[in-house]
Amino acid sequence: QVQLQESGPGLLNTAQTLSLTCTVAGDSITTGLHYWNWIRQPPGKGLEWMGAIASSGSTYYMPSLKSRTTISRDTSKNQFALQLSGVTPEDTAVYYCARSTDQFYSRNIRRDQYDSWGQGTQVTVSS
């Protein structure tokens, strides 16, 4: 059974860069037809897909966030990471990493579209 775990700082100031890591156990991030995703949920709002890295290493980003987002991986540690630059209080959210199979979903996100989720990590950006 695959397990995902997010890690990173919970509090940032405006204009800083958010860096989160997702550690994966029970599956390799380089095999299978999987996508390794970053998804966030701002307070009182729905899930927002931010981007993904495929098992092949190809990356995909939400267009509205693309200029600020970088997704990368460390295959030696079986981890993938999110960097979000120039954060503002609007980036305050619970951030999740999640695995999907065969495709990724960039709109109308539902939890059942992804077969494994991390527990989520709260990120708060102060002004």
What's the count of helices (H) and strands (E) in the chain, helices before strands? 0, 11
Q: What is the pLDDT of residue 44?
A: 96
The first and second tokens of residue 83, run together, are 């960097």
Note the residue count of the chain. 127
Q: What is the pLDDT of residue 47?
A: 96
**pLDDT tens track, the chain, 127 positions:** 999 999 999 999 999 999 999 999 999 999 999 999 999 999 999 999 999 999 999 999 999 999 999 999 999 999 999 999 999 999 999 999 999 998 888 888 999 999 999 999 999 999 8
Q: Say if CB 57 and CB 73 are below 8 A apart.
A: yes
Strand order in the sheet with 79-84: 3-7, 18-25, 79-84, 69-74
